[in-house]
Amino acid sequence: MNTTTLEFPKNNILSLLSDARHFQILFLGSFLVLVLFANDFPKDFLFQIGLTISSCIVFQLLFSHFTTKNYSSWKSALITSLGLCLLLKVDNLNWILVASLLAIGSKFLIRYKGKHIFNPANIGVVGTILFSHHAWISPGQWGSNIVYLFIIGSLGFLVIKKVARIDIALTFIATFGGLLFIRNILYLGWPIDFWTHQMTNGTLMLFTFFMITDPMTTPNNKKGRIIFALILAIIAFYLTTFNHFYAAPVLVLLFMSPLTIIFDKIWKSEKYSW
Partner 1 sequence: MKKKVILVLIVFTALPLLQSFCGFYVSTGDIKIFNQASEVILVRDGNKSTITMNSDFQGDVKDFAIVIPVPTVLKENDIKVVKKDIFNKLNKYSEPRLVEYYDEHPCEPRIMYDEMVVTKSVSFNSSVAERKKEKELGVTIEAKYTVGEYDILILSAKESTGLKTWLLQNDYKIPAKAEEVLEPYIKSKMNFFVVKVNLAEMKKLGRDELSPIQISFESEKFMLPIRLGMANANGAQDLIIYAFTKNGRVESTNYRTVKIPTDKNIPTFMRPKFQDFYKDLFTKQYKKHGKNAVFTEYAWDLSSHNYQKCDPCSTTPPSYAELKDAGVFFANYRTPQGYQGSDYEGNLFFTRLHVRYDRANFPMDLQFQETMDQQSFQGRYIMQHSVNVDMQTCSEGKRYYNDVLSRRENELETLANLTNWDIDSYDDYTNEIRTKLGYKTTKSETKKGGFFFFSKGNKPNKTLPTLLLLSGLALVSFLIYKRKTIFPKLGTIKSFLF
Q: Which residues are near partner 1 by CB under 8 A?
A: 6, 8, 14, 30, 34, 37-40, 43-44, 47, 50-51, 54-55, 57-58, 61, 65, 89-91, 93, 133-136, 138-145, 147-148, 150-151, 154-155, 158, 161, 164, 166-167, 170, 184, 187-191, 193-194, 196-198, 201, 222, 226, 243-244, 246-247
Among residues 204, 130, 109, 213, the alpha carbon closest in space to that of 166 is found at 213
Of 117 and 200, CB closest to partner 1: 200
Minimum distance from residue 9 beta carbon to partner 1 (Å):
8
Shortest separation between residue 166's beta carbon and partner 1, angstroms: 5
CB of 58 to partner 1, least distance (A): 5
Q: Which is nearer to partner 1, 50 or 258 (CB)?
A: 50
Nearer Cβ to partner 1 (43/113): 43
**Residues 68-74: contacts with CB within 8 Å, 24+ apart?**
70/1, 72/1
Closer residue to partner 1 (CB): 99 or 117: 99
d(CA 104, CA 54): 12
CA–CA distance, 188 with 208 (Å, rounded to integer): 25
Residue 192, judged by CB atoms within 10 A of its CB (0-12, 13-18, 19+), counts as exposed
Q: Smaller CB distance to partner 1: residue 174 or 262?
A: 174
Shortest distance, position 50 Cβ to partner 1, whole Å: 5
Q: Whole-number minimum distance, CB 136 to partner 1, in Å?
A: 5
